Amino acid sequence: GAGVSQSPSNKVTEKGKDVELRCDPISGHTALYWYRQSLGQGLEFLIYFQGNSAPDKSGLPSDRFSAERTGGSVSTLTIQRTQQEDSAVYLCASSFGGGASSTDTQYFGPGTRLTVL
């Protein structure tokens, strides 16, 4: 079946603009994760959604970052008033389960490369 897909694959924006990044998880996966991969910070957890539970937002770097997951499927990561330090590859992953003690394999999408000029 289809894997995790992300769009756009590349996004160039100007400092101060808002951007939306989309993630389509694998069908039937209840958990969805966002990570960021940057030269300075490596791979960082941002946020994760598990079923109907409140999302774990503990990794979001500032209140300019938000995410939602509609209908338990597609997720959108929004960055408001982008800054140059937001430039990174944003990775989405999904897993079949994702509860407190889950170790279900996370399947990663190819990422969205964000460049803030």
Q: Does 110 bind other proteins (CB under 8 A)?
A: yes
Question: Minimal distance in Å, beta carbon 48 to other proteins?
Answer: 5
| C-beta separation of 11 from 76 below 8 A | no
Question: Minimal distance in Å, beta carbon 109 to other proteins?
Answer: 5
How far apart, in whole angstroms, are the C-alpha atoms of residue 106 and residue 116? 28
| Residue 48, both tokens | 């994760």
Which of 32, 29, 27, 33 lies closest to 1 in space, CA to CA? 27
Q: Does 102 bind other proteins (CB under 8 A)?
A: yes
Task: Rank residues 11 and 107 by Cβ distance to other proteins and give the closer one.
Answer: 107
Q: What does DSSP assign to residue 25? A: P
27, 52, 70, 103: residue in contact with other proteins (rule CB under 8 A): 103
Q: Does 117 bind other proteins (CB under 8 A)?
A: no
| Residue 66, both tokens | 């938000």
Contacts of 2 (CB under 8 A, 6+ apart): 26, 27
Task: Rank residues 80 and 104 by Cβ distance to other proteins and give the closer one.
Answer: 104
Residue ranges binding other proteins (CB under 8 A): 4, 31, 33, 35, 42-45, 48, 50, 56, 58-59, 91, 93, 95, 97-111
